[in-house]
Amino acid sequence: MQSPTPAGRTGRPRSAAADAAILAATREALVELGWSKLTLGDVATRAGVAKTTLYRRWAGKNELVVDAVAELFDELELPDRGSLANDIEGVVLQFAAILDRPEAKSGLMAAVAESTRDEALRERIRASIVDRQKRLVVAGRSRAQCRGELPAEPDPEEAARTVDLIFDMVAGAVVHRTLMSGKPANEEWVRDFTRVLLQGLGSEPPEPTTP
Amino acid sequence: MQSPTPAGRTGRPRSAAADAAILAATREALVELGWSKLTLGDVATRAGVAKTTLYRRWAGKNELVVDAVAELFDELELPDRGSLANDIEGVVLQFAAILDRPEAKSGLMAAVAESTRDEALRERIRASIVDRQKRLVVAGRSRAQCRGELPAEPDPEEAARTVDLIFDMVAGAVVHRTLMSGKPANEEWVRDFTRVLLQGLGSEPPEPTTP
DNA sequence: AGCTTTCGCTACGACCCGTAGCGTAATACC
DNA sequence: GGTATTACGCTACGGGTCGTAGCGAAAGCT
């Protein structure tokens, strides 16, 4: 997960408990201090380990925070809710709930910002966060094709392009809504979003919000 | 634009040339160093001003970078290209071109990350960057309604929600494509994106990419 | 046992931060 | 032209964080 996993097999093994404590302390520090004021010395103190232990496992702040934030996305699931629209609404609400947590907001965006100048960090984010989310898109799309809700795309290259497009549209909209617009991606918004995604902008709303 | 604009009217005025030099130096430093390694002392040296001059005008790194990045979005325009689809493709390509610049990527995302813990900074970003982009959505939508390409929404509250939704979907998709997926938002992608946005996911592609 | 690796601790030079103080330069008002 | 007022450049400073080195002790494996 972190630094070049120790090659040798003999000797005292690394403490797994220390790993968990460090990542939890990192998230705690992210909540209280945010990215810029988070220091590795402070994280070490919170975790009850020495600062040098941190540097033995992670190359720096970037890698540590990515690993700490990645764990937040472990709970993402895609239960079968009967229709494509329901599947989308369900997973988007899950994603929005994770993004609403302060440690996810500041940590993820800061890491992405740093990754624009660090190829290895970008790959780390892709492998531990982005690809995990994209798998949900692949699964949901294939499920919808079996239901006949989406057209089949025999060309694998074109199918991959479509998956990428849907992924960027879904995740991008939620992230932008949450971070840039600063408004909640609640049920009402998710309903509207899903309708536009599935039927396009030309469609008219089913009901003018009369609860 | 920056710090509490000097209240008094007498005395030596602030140098406007210094402002431009500082903002340009900030963008240059963003390109070469990225957000985390950018220091205000270095920016001051590049701009040919004293470090104290920087602190007299901006409260800190966050505010300075936001102002420096905001200027990049000044060139955004919405020329009338005849149809809603063409309008969208045009403005999205402009937006993607700006986002592709390294100073925009690292600067904007880092500022957004910091803004999750700084209400004043979030407001600054909203006023100088986000709202300027949203105006294009409002204009493009109203133009499309005049053409009859989009349904009219008489309820102003519902119209505002629709504008917000479209804005987050468009800008979010481009940002996510560029930064998270790390792939270019080129003409091919923009064509696919516009088709899905207007017609929804159920529609089939017009031609299987046969140039 | 003995070997190997991790761990906690301390200390260190290097860098950047943000501010204070001073003398000088540039404008507005009279 | 003289004067008040503000901005500017420069230097210097205490405080904080960085990332690393070195040490003795602890914890596993064979």
For residue range B5-33, list pLDDT tens digits in order: 555 578 899 999 999 999 999 999 999 99
Interface of B with A in 147-166 (CB under 8 A): 149-151, 155, 158, 161-162, 164-166
Which site among B123, B180, B191, B194 would you substitute to test the A interface, given the most A Cβ atoms closer than 10 Å to its Cβ?
B180
Q: How far is Cα A126 from Cα A122, in angstroms, rounded to an integer?
A: 6
Q: Looking at the structure, tell me whether residues A37 and A128 fall in a common domain.
A: no
State the average pLDDT for chain A. 93
| Domain contains A9 | no
Q: In the structure encoding, which two tokens stand for residue A92, read together?
A: 């988007």
Same domain, yes or no: A108 and A165: yes
Backbone angles phi, psi at B69, to 5 degrees: -75, -35
For helices B61-70 and B16-33, angle between their N-to-C axes, nearest 10 degrees: 100
Q: What is the full DSSP assignment across B39-55?
A: -HHHHHHHHTS-HHHHH
Per the domain annotation, does A1 fall within a domain?
Answer: no
Contact A209 B158 (CB under 8 A): yes
Nearest in space to B153 (alpha carbons), one of A148, A201, A86: A201
CATH number of A32's domain: 1.10.10.60
Query: Which candidate, B51, B197, B68, places its Cα nearest to that of B137?
Result: B197
B80 and B53 housed in the same domain: no
Q: B48-64, pLDDT tens digit by residue?
A: 999 999 999 999 999 99
CB atoms B180 and A112 under 8 Å: yes
At A150, is the secondary structure helix, strand, or coil? coil
Same-domain pairing of A123 and A30: no
**Average pLDDT of A46-75?**
97
Query: Which pLDDT value is given to residue A202?
Result: 83
Clarify whether residues B24 and B85 are in a common domain. Answer: no
- Which chain B residues in 61-120 sit with Cβ < 7 A of strand C? 61
CA atoms within 13 A on the CB side of B71: 17
- For residue B192, the model assigns a pLDDT of 97
Supply the range of the domain harboring residue A120.
70-199
Q: Extract the tokens encoding A11.
A: 């000797």
Tell me the C-alpha distance between B95 and B90, whole Å. 9
pLDDT bin (cut points 50, 70, 90) of residue A7 is: low
The residue with greater pLDDT, A208 or A124, is A124
Are B76 and B165 within one domain?
A: yes
Mean pLDDT over A91-100 rounds to: 98
Q: Does A199 lie at the interface with B, CB-CB under 8 angstroms? A: yes
Total structural domains within chain B? 2
How high does pLDDT run on average in chain B?
A: 93
Check residue A10 and give its pLDDT: 83
Span A26-47, pLDDT tens digits: 999 999 999 999 999 999 999 9
pLDDT at A198: 97
> Average pLDDT for residues A143-158, to the nearest whole number?
96
| Residue B202: pLDDT band with limits 50, 70, 90 | confident
A108 and A181 housed in the same domain = yes
Q: Tell me which nucleotides of strand C come within 7 A of a protein CB.
A: 3-11, 15-21, 25-29
> How does pLDDT run across A162-200, given as a tens digit for each residue?
999 999 999 999 999 999 999 999 999 999 999 999 999
Per-residue 3-state assignment (H helix, E strand, C coil) for chain A: CCCCCCCCCCCCCCCHHHHHHHHHHHHHHHHHHCCCCCCHHHHHHHHCCCHHHHHHHCCCHHHHHHHHHHHHHHHCCCCCCCCHHHHHHHHHHHHHHHHCCHHHHHHHHHHHHHHCCCHHHHHHHHHHHHHHHHHHHHHHHHHHHHHCCCCCCCCHHHHHHHHHHHHHHHHHHHHHHHHHCCCCCCHHHHHHHHHHHHHCCCCCCCCCCCC
- The tokens of B96 are what? 């993607």
Answer yes or no: is B211 within a domain: no
* Interchain CB distance below 8 Å, B201 and A198: yes
Cα distance between residue B203 and residue B25, in whole Å: 48
Let me know whether A121 and A155 are in one domain: yes
Q: How far apart are CA A146 and CA A153, in angstroms?
A: 12
* CATH code of A189's domain: 1.10.357.10
Residues B109 and B35 in one domain: no
Q: What mean pLDDT comes out for the span B92-104?
A: 97
* Residues B88, B26 share a domain: no
| Residue B196 touches partner A, C-beta closer than 8 Å | yes
Show which residues sit with Cβ under 7 A of nucleic chain D: A 9-13, 39-42, 51-52, 55, 60-61; B 6, 8, 10-15, 18, 48-53, 56-57
Q: How confident is the model at residue A64 (pLDDT cuts 50, 70, 90)?
A: very high
The verdict on B158 and B83 lying in the same domain is yes
Q: Do A94 and A189 belong together in one domain?
A: yes
| A120 occurs within a structural domain | yes
Establish if A117 touches chain B: CB-CB under 8 angstroms: yes
Please list every residue in chain B whose beta carbon sits closer than 8 Å to the beta carbon of residue A121: none
Using pLDDT thresholds of 50, 70 and 90, give the confidence band for residue A1: low
For chain A, give the percent of residues with pLDDT over 90: 90
pLDDT of residue A173: 98
The predicted pLDDT at position B205 comes to: 59
State whether B168 and A182 contact (CB < 8 Å). Answer: no
Do residues B180 and A168 make contact, with C-beta atoms less than 8 angstroms apart? yes
Please check the confidence at residue A209 and state whether its pLDDT lies above 60: no
